[in-house]
Structure 1
């Protein structure tokens, strides 16, 4: 798989029906290794190892209902109160991050109401916080590390 713009991480792999699978520690199972999954696993490891987000607050590839339609999000990090802290959209490294990608995560975020959003193809990462009063993104250099809110 392609080298991504993340630190080097160690992953578990296995062959499954003549396809390579990677272990997802959040979903607790092996999943087929696609280019997008390669990016998703790097994002999850980055959030857990580098930003210290608790694994119990992460959710990977779950269904989200938006205007009656079922959509799948890549990664969500919840706050302790159950509200959404971070919404992540992952693309394969060959997929350019465009305005269409931001529109997609913005639509998802209308239902999720996340405090932060991340869009990545593993090579380019974009982070933003949401200003709901002004209805705009505020681009950031990086995501905040996990802090226990008291």
Structure 2
């Protein structure tokens, strides 16, 4: 395996340990996406996204059937693409998460990116992660703002 190019695989992420199916083909690594049922090119951002999905399914009880990954949306007539959207049981947007590569630090700019996407989507919860840091926000209907929360709720609570 070409570890120089894929050094991010050795990074310690702030997630429990998960087993992933990884294969090498034509000099590129791919990771099996259990939601889309196919192998995807393994990038640092995809590494974080697969960890986040596994965490939400295995530790927070989010049903795989309610996930939507890397779908396009329009904001101010610009085509954008979100990373992870989870719907609630009635099909309304519940949680929107933006994943960044581990070397990208979470900043006001990265939080604004997910907030802009959510103006179109309208999820009650938002999150952003680079795999090492996670930032979660919950919509406060009284103040009409998002408040930072320490952790995401279990699904169905």
Deviations, residues 99-149 of structure 1 (Å, cap 9, x unaligned): 00111111000000001011110000011101255232111110000117x
Aligned length: 148
Aligned structure 1 segments of 4 or more residues deviating by more than 2 angstroms:
131-135
Which digits, 9 at most, give the CA deviation of each residue in 1:38-95, with x for residues without a partner? 0000000001000010000011111111122111101000012221000001000000
Residue 103 of structure 2 corresponds to residue 94 of structure 1: yes
- Runs of 5+ unmatched residues, structure 2: 1-8
Instruction: Give the Å deviation of 1:3.
Output: 2.0
TM-score, with structure 1 as normaliser:
0.94
Name the Cα RMSD after superposition. 1.2
Secondary structure of 1:93's counterpart equals coil
Please give the residue correspondences for 1:60-79 in structure 2 after superposition, counting only pairs within 5 Å. Answer: 60-79=69-88
| Gap runs ≥5 in structure 1 | none
How big is the shift at 1:17? 2.4
3-state SS of 2:112 partner: helix
Question: TM-score, with normalisation over the residues of structure 2?
Answer: 0.90
Q: Which residue of 2 aligns with 1:104?
A: 113
Superposed displacement of residue 28, structure 1: 1.2
User: Which structure has the highest strand share of the two?
Assistant: 1
